């Protein structure tokens, strides 16, 4: 049984609902996790998702900032909206659903961006980001014979050298500093998570999911970063059937600065 999970930082779900519709109609993932929905739960465009066949919706939103949502064609059970760093930011929602005889736990994360100054002593947003990633150590890739875990989202860190357009030039830029990338990879491994976007892909192959709005021509300069991720528990790796970074979506009208990533699995 084939199924697919997509993740996309949409940068305002209400503003970009036409792009979401286009994406769902063309690619029809079974499950879609969104980040930066930027709206409170009572104004989330649930009716539009239902009309597109995504009748099962788990949201954790707030007015104006952050916010995550997972929508699905199949029934999903909301598991948790976890708080991190003892504040009320809406940055996580987890759901459980059945797929091909297995019960899957799907975490959807929006990790703090961290501001511009990569010094936790003078930049509280960077401190918050480091603390948030440290707290993610509690999120483990739980699995047994009948269950598995997937973690997706905008994690706002590009961990490997070729996850950015220039390793050297970004070493002191928030998202690729050694303190971030080291803590990030340690957290991932401690949790038992597999980085599926690098599974079977050479480490020296460039992978980007985000291109800044500030470039004059994002396509020509191609100064991207891999900020969006798909992880899973080890027992799902044999069922992984490949993935796609939807680069073209960066060129759609009024785009998000992130593009969707679609991961495919085959169970049974």
Give the one residue of 45, 46, 65, 246 binding DNA; rule: CB under 7 A.
Answer: 65
d(CA 70, CA 72): 7
* Block residue for tokens 């047994």: 144
98 known ligand binder = no
Q: Which helix (H) or strand (E) holds 186?
A: helix 178-190
The CA R_g of the chain, rounded to the nearest whole Å, is 17
For position 63 contacting DNA by CB under 7 A, the verdict is yes
* Between 70 and 154, CB nearer to DNA: 154
Q: Which residue has the tokens 């993610």?
A: 136
Sign of the four-CA dihedral 164, 38, 183, 147: negative
CB of 153 to DNA, least distance (A): 13
Is 145 annotated to bind a ligand? Reply is no
Rule CB under 7 A: say whether 112 interacts with DNA: yes
Is 98 a residue of the active site? no
Interface with DNA: number of residues (CB under 7 A): 20
Binders in 193-222 for DNA, by CB under 7 A: 212-214
Question: Contact with DNA (CB under 7 A): which of 122, 166, 254, 266?
Answer: 254
CA atoms within 13 A of residue 11's CA, in its CB half-sphere: 13
> Which of 54, 107, 128, 154 does the annotation list as catalytic?
154
Direct distance between the N- and C-terminal alpha carbons of the chain, in angstroms, rounded to an integer: 6
DSSP one-letter code for 97: E
Is 154 labelled a binding residue? yes
Among 2, 50, 53, 64, binds DNA (CB under 7 A): 64
Q: What phi, psi does 72 have (nearest 5°)?
A: -150, 155
Distance CA 156, CA 175 (A): 6
- 22 is a contact residue toward DNA (CB under 7 A): no
- Are 211 and 257 in contact by the 8 Å Cβ rule? The answer is yes
Q: Find the binder of DNA among 22, 125, 127, 247 (CB under 7 A).
A: 125
Asked if 224 interacts with DNA (CB under 7 A), we say: no
Q: Under the rule (CB under 7 A), what is the footprint of DNA?
A: 11-12, 14-15, 36, 38-39, 63-66, 112-115, 125, 212-214, 254
- Binding-site positions for Mg(2+) read 9, 36, 154, 156, 257-258
């Amino acid at each position: 049984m084939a199924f697919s999970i997509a993740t996309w930082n949409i940068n305002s779900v209400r503003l970009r609902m036409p792009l979401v519709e286009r994406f769902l109609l063309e690619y029809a993932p079974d499950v879609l996790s969104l980040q930066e929905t930027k709206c409170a739960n009572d104004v989330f465009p649930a009716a539009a998702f239902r009309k597109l066949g995504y009748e099962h919706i788990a949201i954790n939103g707030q007015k104006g900032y952050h916010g995550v949502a997972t929508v699905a064609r199949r029934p999903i059970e909301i598991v948790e909206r976890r708080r991190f760093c003892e504040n009320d930011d809406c940055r996580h929602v987890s759901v459980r659903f059945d797929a091909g005889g297995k019960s899957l736990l799907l975490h959807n994360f929006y990790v703090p961006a961290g501001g511009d100054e990569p010094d936790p002593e003078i930049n509280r947003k960077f401190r918050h980001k480091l603390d948030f990633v440290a707290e993610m150590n509690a999120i483990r890739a739980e699995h047994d014979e009948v269950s598995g875990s997937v973690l997706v989202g905008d994690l706002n860190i590009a961990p490997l050298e070729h996850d950015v357009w220039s390793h050297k030039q970004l070493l002191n830029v928030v998202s690729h500093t050694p303190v971030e990338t080291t803590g990030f990879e340690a957290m991932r491994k401690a949790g038992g998570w597999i980085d599926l976007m690098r599974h079977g892909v050479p480490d020296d192959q460039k992978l980007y999911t985000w291109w800044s709005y500030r470039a004059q021509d994002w396509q020509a300069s191609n100064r991207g970063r891999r900020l969006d991720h798909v992880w899973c528990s080890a027992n799902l790796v044999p069922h992984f059937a490949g993935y796609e970074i939807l680069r073209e979506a960066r060129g759609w009208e009024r785009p998000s600065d992130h593009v969707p990533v679609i991961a495919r699995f085959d169970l049974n």
